[in-house]
Amino acid sequence: MGVTKKKRIRICMGMGCEGNSRELYHNLQKILKEHPEWELETVRCFGRCGRHPVISIDGEITHKLNLHQVLKRMGIEKQEK
């Protein structure tokens, strides 16, 4: 039986991004409890400060996305509760 490779979302929490990343990170933490195929990590800096929040979605670096846009890129529909 093979091991399923997880997809990875990495959020920058460096000084240039943190203000815009923190809420996004906490929201994703909650949402991804129902999506174990995704692994959530933080990064100190991607070296792209000023284009915050900088997020890597399964290897693709993105800039200035909100939660809805991030979930859409991840292929996850947000479920309203």
Question: Contact residues for ligand FES (CB under 6 A)?
Answer: 12, 14-17, 45-46, 48-49, 52, 54
Contact indicator for 77, 71 with CB cutoff of 8 Å: yes
Closest CA to 15 of 59, 56, 46: 46
Of all residues in this chain, which one has the CB nearest to ligand FES in the complex?
14
User: Which C-beta is closer to ligand FES: that of 66 or that of 78?
Assistant: 66
CB of 36 to ligand FES, least distance (A): 27
Take residue 8 and report the two structure tokens written for it.
Answer: 């990875």
Between CA 35 and CA 44 the distance in angstroms is 24
User: Which C-beta is closer to ligand FES: that of 14 or that of 31?
Assistant: 14
